[in-house]
């Protein structure tokens, strides 16, 4: 498969991740409908909440992993690309094209989400996390500090890459990696939405921040540095600690043959 086709797959996959994950947060996380009777002011909460949004992010990765995993590897995330490179699973020469494709896909999805959301009367880009942006301090859903946000994003991305590297190892059960990775991302969101609104993905953070304003865009540096650092640490750690030595791999192949 050519690099161009793989990059198109990455663009489409990241588009789906942002539209599905951030879309669920913006459009369905907290939804109310007016009562059926004329003049009745009672509101019925129908929103997905944190659990639903967490599941939505996990489902986007799970579905795309089955759809394009065999085409591009389904990174959908610059941190994942860096982590796979550190784990000796991805060539450094393809990092830039993959990351550019992921950011473009995320930005297109964020623009489409903004267009859809603004179709409702009274919609404004207000609040601490418009368009499901990521942030710290005043832009943290729970008011967490920069240090807390940094630690959270490093650790969550480290564990995400450990799941990815382990589930896609040739020694792991075949065909189940997308399930493990999707559920892993769901769990990560359940833990860290209150802290940073959960990034672990620089493209996802950048795409929505572009439309949310300069104040939020100014905080995206953390959501590049922390996830990429966590991913690289995981890649080096897995490669050093758990990768099968070449001599052992050759012996395994002889036994299979």
3-state secondary structure at position 42: coil
* All structural domains of the chain with their residue ranges: 3-33+42-244
Measured CA to CA, the distance from residue 184 to residue 62 in angstroms comes to 10
Cα separation, 117 vs 123, in Å, equals 7
H helices, E strands: number in the chain? 10, 2
pLDDT tens string 95-137: 999 999 999 999 999 999 999 999 988 778 877 888 999 999 9
Burial 52-88 (b: 16+ CB within 10 A, else e): ebbbbbbbbbbbbbeebbeebbbbbbbbbbbbbbbbe
The angle that helices 146-167 and 177-196 make with each other, rounded to 10 degrees, is: 180
CB 190 within 8 A of CB 50: yes
The pLDDT of residue 250:
45
CATH 3.40.50.720 for the 3-33+42-244 domain, yes or no: no
Instruction: Tell me how crowded residue 102 is: count the other CB atoms within 10 A of its CB.
Output: 31
Position 246 scores a pLDDT of 54
Task: For residue range 54-99, list pLDDT tens digits in order.
Answer: 999 999 999 999 999 999 999 999 999 999 999 999 999 999 999 9
Q: How confident is the model at residue 34, as a pLDDT?
A: 52
Buried b (16+ CB within 10 A) or exposed e, 184-222: bbbbbbbebbebbbbbbbbbbbbbbbbbbeeebbebbeb
pLDDT mean across residues, the chain: 90
The per-residue pLDDT for range 143-155, each reduced to its tens digit, is: 999 999 999 999 9
Q: How many CB atoms lie within 10 A of CB 39?
A: 6
Burial of 239 from C-beta contacts in 10 A (0-12 / 13-18 / 19+): middle
Mean pLDDT, range 220-230, rounded to an integer: 98
pLDDT of 31 reads: 65
* 168-216 per-position pLDDT tens digit: 999 999 899 999 999 999 999 999 999 999 999 999 999 999 999 899 9
C-alpha 237/C-alpha 93 separation (Å) is: 22
Model pTM? 0.90
Percentage, residues of the chain above pLDDT 70: 89
Q: What is the model's pLDDT at position 126?
A: 74
Q: Which residues contact 222 (CB under 8 A, 6 or more apart)?
A: 136, 146, 149, 150, 153
The Cα 75–Cα 159 span in angstroms is 15
**Beta carbons within 8 Å of 224's beta carbon, 6+ residues apart:** 78, 202, 205, 206
- Name the residue among 174, 158, 175, 156 with its Cα closest to residue 231: 158
DSSP single-letter state for residue 121: T
**Is the pLDDT score of 41 beyond 80?**
no
3-state class of 46 per DSSP?
A: coil
Each residue of 240-257: pLDDT tens digit?
999 877 545 444 434 333
């Amino acid at each position: 498969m050519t690099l161009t086709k793989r990059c198109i797959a990455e663009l489409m996959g990241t588009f789906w991740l942002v539209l599905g994950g951030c879309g669920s947060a913006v459009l369905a996380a907290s939804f109310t409908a007016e009562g059926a009777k004329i003049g009745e002011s009672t509101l019925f909460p129908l929103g997905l909440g944190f659990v639903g949004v967490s599941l939505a992010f996990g489902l986007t990765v799970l579905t795309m992993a089955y759809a394009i995993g065999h085409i591009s590897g389904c990174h959908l995330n610059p941190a994942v690309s860096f982590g796979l490179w550190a784990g000796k699973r991805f060539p450094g020469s393809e990092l830039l094209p993959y990351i550019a494709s992921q950011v473009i896909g995320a930005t297109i999805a964020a623009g489409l989400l903004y267009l859809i959301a603004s179709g409702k009367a009274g919609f404004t880009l207000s609040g601490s996390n418009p368009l499901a942006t990521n942030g710290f301090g005043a832009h943290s859903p729970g008011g967490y500090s920069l240090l807390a946000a940094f630690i959270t994003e490093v650790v969550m991305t480290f564990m995400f890459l450990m799941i990815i590297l382990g589930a896609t190892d040739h020694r792991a059960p075949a065909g189940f990696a997308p399930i493990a990775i999707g559920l892993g991302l769901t769990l990560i969101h359940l833990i860290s939405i209150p802290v940073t609104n959960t990034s672990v993905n620089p493209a996802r953070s950048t795409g929505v921040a572009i439309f949310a304003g300069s104040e939020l865009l100014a905080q995206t540096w953390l959501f590049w540095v922390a996830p990429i650092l966590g991913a690289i640490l995981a890649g080096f750690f897995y490669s050093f600690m758990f990768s099968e030595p070449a001599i052992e791999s050759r012996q395994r192949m002889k036994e299979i043959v």
